[in-house]
Amino acid sequence: MTAGDEFPERLRAATSDAAVVTDPDMMAGYLTDWRHMFTGQAIAVLRPGSTQEVSALVRLCAEAGVAIVPQGGNTGLAGGATPQGDAPQVILSLARMNNIRSVDPVGLCIEAEAGAILQSVREAATAEDRLFPVSLAAEGSATIGGIIATNAGGVNVLRYGMTRDLVLGLEVVLADGTVIDALRPLRKDNAARYWKQLFIGSEGALGIVTAATLRLVPRPLHRSVALVSVPDVQTALSVFSHAQTVLGDALTAFELMEAAALERVETHFNLTLPVQSGAWYLLIEAGSTLSGLAETSEAMLEDVFEKGWATDGVVASSAGQADHLWALREHITEAEAKSGRSVKHDVSLPIAAFPAFLEAFGTRLPEVEAEATPNVFGHLGDGNLHVNVLLPKEADSTGVMRLVHDLVHAHGGSISAEHGLGQYRVAEWERLTARAEQVLLGRIKTALDPQGILNPGKGLSIKEHKAA
Ligand code: FAD
Ligand code: 2HG
Ligand code: ZN
């Protein structure tokens, strides 16, 4: 991997010493992903302090034909922020660009730089009695640029949509270094056509997000959180349907977890499950600015018990208890990581298809890998479950992944609901995505990044997808 020994010096000369890291020890943490599945190589880690520096660095990389791997908090679960292959490349970390520039509680928006930590943005909104709704277990490290580049979901999609639905304005640096500044906080802007949407969810393969104007919502003052156990997923869907009927727009989260997933949390963390005797558990949250929520939520849960759907349950009676119930849910990913090797499947399906899908999965998994252990949980209300599988060290993961993705395909679903393709799912995406769709995306890629220097080897940047 080389672009000439003097290349880092040229980058430094155009920016500053702080913006170009070449010390191997300082670079190490940027070269491996959160799951420790992928490790790549890079000439340098670039840490620009401003949009102008990002532009200058990208321009020099484009001239030298050096590929750029954008990186935010490095919490992605698909290896998208880790260099792939032998081509000369640099990591471009947005970490130093972490200012929250303004919060407008009347216009309901917040402007932040790409490296701003999601949790800080949520706290800045709360300080003005507003809510930035994207919430996920990695929010203490994930960045605004990262959630935009992955179109992150999280636990509030049911009510507020995915990150895409919350971006009003964007500032982006294109593959040739051009800066597009469109941080306008407008809710209605047909003059901008649709270009912003191209960058959201494109995993750093079309441009580098340097700042964004995000939509805020009024902060629900009343909150109700319950954990209930149900015997099966079909029953979970009955509870979901009833919760929607009774709570309507107030329903903000409807999460499903299998018992074994929570048992792993209890094993690895000091957290105790306050509900017993379920094969599956539901974490249900409702929020409202209006009073009367607690009564409505309790009435809904009483119905659920009367109908015989729930076997046990608890309603949080304090903010601390609510946080405890959420902690059980939010520690599943880390408990899985502590349990050994796993194959992750980030599946979305038409929601009614889940019972049949999971039954087929349960029957066929042992046929493919006798030692496999499922770890299923996720955002049932969004039609998105993480159908993860724990495997012994030596077992072959390809057959398991193919089984799950073939079932997803057969049930009309998607193999990446919220985590993205990264380098983890590219081959499967190519296998299962219609050629015409791949060529369409190749044309967009070629138009925006003709040299193919933005995040090669991840999703959109695959050479074969370039239009002939
Ligand atoms: P990174 O990991 O650094 O990068 C992710 C991708 O975005 C890469 O392709 C990278 O090249 C690109 N990128 C990063 N910054 C920029 C930029 N400024 N411009 C252009 N491209 C950029 N995800 C969910 O959707 N829902 C969840 O509920 C969820 N829960 C999680 C829980 C845990 C414990 C962990 C570890 C991860 C979870 N994730 C979840 C995945 C991850 O947190 C999200 O994908 C997050 O959006 C990544 O943000 P990041 O700043 O860490 O991005
Ligand atoms: C969640 O829903 C995240 O907690 C992570 O999307 C899922 O670990 C996973 O596979
Ligand atoms: Zn998730």
Q: How many CA atoms lie within 13 A of 388 on its CB side?
A: 23
The pLDDT-based confidence of 468 (bands split at 50, 70, 90) is very low
CB distance 378 to ligand 2 below 6 Å: yes
Ligand 2 centre to CA of 177 (Å) is: 34
pLDDT (tens digit per residue) in 266-292: 999 999 999 987 899 999 999 999 999
Shared fold status for 100-218 and 222-333: no
386 lines ligand 2 (CB under 6 A): yes
8 A C-beta contact, residue 378 and residue 256: yes
Report the mean per-residue pLDDT for the chain. Answer: 95
Pick the CATH number of 222-333 from 1.10.3720.10, 3.60.21.10, 3.30.70.2190, 1.20.1260.10: 3.30.70.2190
Architecture of the domain made up of 340-428:
2-Layer Sandwich (3.30)
Percent pLDDT > 70 in the chain is: 97
Could you give the CA distance from residue 85 to residue 81 in angstroms, rounded to a whole number? Answer: 13
* Contact 257 CB / ligand 2 (< 6 Å): no
Residue located nearest, by CA, to atom 25 of ligand 1: 152
- Which CATH architecture is the domain 100-218 placed in? 2-Layer Sandwich (3.30)
What is the CATH number that goes with domain 7-93?
3.30.43.10
Give pairs for 338-341: CB < 8 Å, separation 24+.
338/264, 338/268, 339/264, 339/268, 339/375, 339/390, 340/390, 340/391, 340/392, 340/393, 341/390, 341/391, 341/392, 341/393, 341/397
Query: If you compute the radius of gyration of the chain from its CA atoms, what whole number of angstroms results?
Result: 23
H or E stretch covering 389: strand 384-391
Task: Indicate which atom in ligand 2 lies nearest the CA of residue 418.
Answer: 6
For residue 200, give the amino acid letter.
I
DSSP 352: G
> Taking 60 as the threshold, does the pLDDT of residue 356 lie above it?
yes
Summarised one tens digit per residue, pLDDT across range 387-436 is 999 999 989 899 999 999 999 999 999 999 999 999 999 999 999 999 99
Q: For residue 349, give Cα distances in angstroms to 248, 384, 430.
A: 22, 7, 19
- What is the pTM (predicted TM-score) of this model? 0.97
The atom number, within ligand 2, closest to the CA of 153 reads 6
pLDDT tens readout for residues 1-10: 666 679 999 9
Residue 461 has pLDDT above 80, yes or no: no
Tens-digit pLDDT profile for residues 294-334: 999 999 999 999 999 998 999 999 999 999 999 999 999 99
Atom of ligand 1 nearest to the CA of 209: 19
Cβ–Cβ < 8 Å for 332, 385? no
**In the block, residue with structure tokens 């191209």:** 198
- For the chain, the structural domain boundaries read 7-93, 100-218, 222-333, 340-428, 433-465
342 DSSP β-pair partners: 390
Amino acid, single-letter form, for residue 363: T
Does residue 137's CB lie within 6 angstroms of at least one atom of ligand 2? Answer: yes
Q: Which ligand is nearest to the CA of 333?
A: 2
